[in-house]
Amino acid sequence: MKIKADTLRTPDEAFENLSDYPFKPHYIQVDGMRLHYLDESKLDEGKERQKVIFLFHGQPSWSYLYRHMIPVLVDAGYRVIAPDLIGFGKSDKPPSSDEHTYSNHVKWMRSFVQQLGIKHGAAFFQDWGGMIGLRVLAQEPEWLDRLVVANTALAEMNTVAKFMVPKILKALAALAGKPSIEKLASNMNYGNWAGYFRHAKQLDIGQVLQALTTRQLNADEMSAYNAPFPSPEYYAAPRKMPEIVASDLNEVNADWLKLKQWLHPVLTLFSDKDPFLADQGYDTKFQQNFSGAKNQPHMTVENASHFLQEDQSSQLANTTIGWLQKTQF
């Protein structure tokens, strides 16, 4: 596929010999850009008859985050599709921050879902994968019949909050100044997060992932997280996304109303050591807003930080499989 004008594409060499990532790349055209996704299955022929599980990542990770979960899900008989958001992983990267709006990311992933044409699947959403994926689901309700949400959130705000929250977040980012990776790692909060991604001349994505995991990543793994971003001109997406967490609030409220009419089973798997979301009630909000979450075996994943796929991949995959089977998916 040709590269859209004024769009960057990480050279393929950056992804050679990645640790535990033997998966074949697949690509689809979205808004003139190449979006990368994995499509793993035991069956090359007749795989359209298999139940499909989508795995959506967030910022600043990519489908590499799911490398240990994918084989377990495939061995259980599922077809697994794991895309890279535009601006991340092997997907094309608009270099202008103006392109990376919340609505654009929803539009791009909705196009991806529409083009694949898969209905009645399942999904595992984490971080921005949930913030984007949930809105896609609101607009494409037949896309999924099962949903697992992990360490993610979707704002639903009244008039006062819609006015105040964006201002508060902007102030927190300004007060944080220009935090180093060391300051971010030692004091993980929204201000330092937004400040680091906005101002750091060289983003160390591997170190960011390490700061938000409980297990020790090795050098190859941290290099793999840095691979999509060979130089600062590729940084637009990870730089911008902390600044748009409280944007599109009218549209998000409207999508929440639609999601409340989506009646299929929902499971929450939030971790106990996430510095952003643990014990903040975000999992409870999902449980209360989705009728399909009632009486489900929701659990807190122990000894796991924000990127729980790194910390407890086997537990997450097997819990998801067991729940899907229990709910007859």
Positions annotated as catalytic residues are 127, 274, 306
CB of 123 closer than 8 Å to CB of 55: yes
CA distance 139 to 98: 24
CB of 317 closer than 8 Å to CB of 69: yes
Q: What is the 3-state secondary structure (H, E, C) of 153-195?
A: CCCCCCHHHHHHHHHHHHHHHHHHCCCCHHHHHHCCCHHHHHH
Assigned token pair, 45:
């022929």
CB of 54 closer than 8 Å to CB of 122: yes
- Residue pointed to by tokens 């997907």: 91
Q: What is the DSSP string of 186-247?
A: HS--HHHHHHHHHH-SS--HHHHHHHT-SSPPPHHHHHHHHTT-SSGGG-HHHHHGGGGTT-
Using CA of residue 276, residue 281, residue 284, residue 285, what is the dihedral sign? negative
CB of 131 closer than 8 Å to CB of 251: no
